[in-house]
Amino acid sequence: MEINNVAVAGSGAMGSQIAMVCALAGYPVVLQDISQESLQHAKHFLEKQMERRVEKGRYSRREVGEAFRRLTFTTEIEEMENANIVIEAIVEKLDAKRELFTKLDRLVAPDTILATNSSTIVSSKIADAVSRPENVCNIHFFNPALVMELVEVVKGPHTSEGTAAKSVEFVESIRKVPVLLNKEISGFIANRILGKLTDEAIFLYENGYATPEEIDLACMKALNHPIGPFALMDLTGLDVHYLVRKQRYDESGDEKDKPSRTVTEKVEKGELGKKTGKGFYDYDAQGNRLGR
């Protein structure tokens, strides 16, 4: 099976960027979402992002124009039927993912790879919702997908060697760097390590040792991180962080896995980070940080 057509389900920050990465690499891509408003927002977001990259000389206008011509925005799931690989990037809720995979199973060709971008929900929790579990795996991109090079490919106990190998080959074809996990574990590699750092950062903040600005600054200047843990939560979305921890707590029952008090309070107040203009920091309409 050769991968000639790509589909991405979910046009949020991750799904839209994954779709553009694939289009820039030369693939025809269908970006599908149940919300026309979300698709319009995704198109506007990508236009702004790519305009900045043209201005900085990273891409030519011709390259960007060709990529957009390869990209189809649609609310119709049927338009994904010709895809050789589908990457799911919808809401981080297991029931929703299982429902989508069941629909895709009936729609696409028998050898199509069905991948979830989730780093929390391992693919074995989805695989029994389809008739060909050997085609199911995790292909996890990092935010922002247009920038971040690493992609984690995770082989579940149901995933065939062929699916894993083809997924790694696909990641390389879109100019990303794959790492292959031969066994499932929630959070995979990078996010498990990052989770420990974030937990400690929140502990230091909640117990009054330092402010988010000071903790972020320490991580950047002492550990050489490009962005601190609080700014990173704002970037990826505090609601995403909350749902990831809630999913992990629901599975483990371990109190240490629960979302933190601080994050829970912010999510309840609608302070979800950069996308709402307020999280641990404040942002203007263009997404520029104003301070706490």
Which tens digit of pLDDT belongs to each residue from 179-201?
A: 999 999 988 999 889 999 999 99
Tens of pLDDT, residues 34-43: 999 999 999 9
Q: Which pLDDT belongs to residue 2?
A: 92
Q: Which residue has the higher pLDDT, 245 or 75?
A: 75
End-to-end CA distance of the chain: give it in Å, rounded.
51
Kindly list the catalytic residues: 119, 140, 152, 191
Output phi, psi for 187, to 5 deg. Answer: 90, -20
Q: Which helix (H) or strand (E) holds 252?
A: helix 238-252
**What is the average pLDDT value for the chain, to the nearest integer?**
95
Contact call for residues 167 and 177 (beta carbons, < 8 A): no
Residue found under tokens 């790694």? 168
How far is the C-alpha of 103 from the C-alpha of 117, rounded, in Å? Answer: 17
Count other C-beta atoms under 10 Å from residue 146's C-beta.
Answer: 17
pTM for the complete prediction? 0.84
Counting runs of H as helices and runs of E as strands, what totals does the chain give?
Answer: 11, 10
Of 177, 116, 187, whose CA–CA distance to 149 is shortest? 177
Q: Which pLDDT belongs to residue 291?
A: 65
Which amino acid does the sequence have at 83? Answer: A
The tokens describing 4, both together, are 């000639």
Output phi, psi for 73, to 5 deg. Answer: -100, 125
Q: Which pLDDT belongs to residue 292?
A: 57
pLDDT-wise least confident of 75-89, 130-144, 278-292: 278-292
Residue found under tokens 């896995």? 257
The tokens describing 8, both together, are 């991405």
Order of strands, edge to edge, in the sheet holding 113-116? 71-74, 29-32, 6-9, 85-88, 113-116, 136-141, 150-154, 177-181
DSSP structure class, residue 278: B
CA dist 268 to 232, 252, 259, Å?
19, 23, 12
Q: What's the rounded mean pLDDT across residues 270-291?
A: 91
Three-state DSSP class for 149? Answer: coil
Q: Which residue has the higher pLDDT, 80 or 256?
A: 80
Q: Which helix (H) or strand (E) holds 88?
A: strand 85-88
Residue 144: asked if its preceding bond is cis (omega within 30°), the reply is yes
Buried b (16+ CB within 10 A) or exposed e, 109-120: eeebbbbbbbbb
Q: Which pLDDT belongs to residue 186?
A: 85
Q: Which pLDDT belongs to residue 251?
A: 80
Q: Which pLDDT belongs to residue 248?
A: 82
CB within 8 Å of 254: residues ≥ 6 apart: none
pLDDT band, residue 286 (cuts 50/70/90): confident
Nearest-10 Cα torsion for 174, 175, 176, 179: 90
Q: What's the rounded mean pLDDT across residues 152-179?
A: 98
What percent of the chain stands above pLDDT 90? 88
